[in-house]
Amino acid sequence: MLAWTGNVWHLAEFGIALGAGIAASSIALVGFGLDAFVEMFAGMVVIWRFAARRDGTIAAERLAQQLIAISFFCLAAYVGAESIDSLVAGRHAGTSWVGIGLAAFTAPTMPLLAIAKRRTGQRLASAATVSEAGQNMLCAYLSVALLGGLLANALAGWWWADPGAALVISALAVREGRASWRGDACCDSC
């Protein structure tokens, strides 16, 4: 149920962030939207993982962790490359009050979803579910970075804050991808 609820929110978050990011030419906001898509993908992987025939199999658990890790790496590669390109080219993002509102809403709500999913993953002894909870916590961190970047751009005119926030998104995605690939989200260490 948590995975389905999260997926509905992430779909809305994806649409809002991507639309607002494209409108404002904000790589941080586009990256945030893409992260929401990755989180939705991770939620679907967890749902797949617990389908009747795969429930409890070590192979399904490991594949689920690796699929989640790959989604993190894809996000990191795209957002990192676009961030560097924006910095080098000196592209200035416009102000996005919709993005600021989205980030301000998401920052305090995503930790609650992450905590619920992490506890569920621990009860089910599913590192893949705990990894997916890590994506929700990453979303909270990204919301804070995004909010800071968008506000610095909107209020202080610091154009570089947008691609800078996107680089934070990329770095955190790499860290989470590595942890998921290695299986570091083991349930007894959470």
- The 10s digit of each residue's pLDDT in 107-139 is 999 889 889 888 988 888 877 777 777 777 878
Q: For the ranges 51-60, 163-172, 177-186, which has the lowest average pLDDT?
A: 51-60
Residue with tokens 């009860």: 123
Question: Cα–chain-centroid distance for residue 175?
Answer: 12
Note the pLDDT of residue 20: 97
Q: How far apart are CA 46 and CA 49, in angstroms?
A: 5
Say yes or no to pLDDT of 172 above 90: no
Note the pLDDT of residue 43: 79
| Closest to 69 measured CA to CA, from 20, 111, 131, 114 | 131
Mean pLDDT of the chain: 85
Say yes or no to pLDDT of 185 above 60: no
Q: How far apart are CA 130 and CA 136, in angstroms?
A: 10
Note the pTM of the prediction, 2 decimals: 0.80
Is the torsion defined by CA of 83, 85, 88, 90 positive or negative?
Answer: negative
Q: How far apart are CA 120 and CA 114, in angstroms?
A: 10
Q: For the ranges 44-48, 67-71, 100-104, which has the lowest average pLDDT?
A: 44-48
Note the pLDDT of residue 52: 59
Note the pLDDT of residue 54: 55
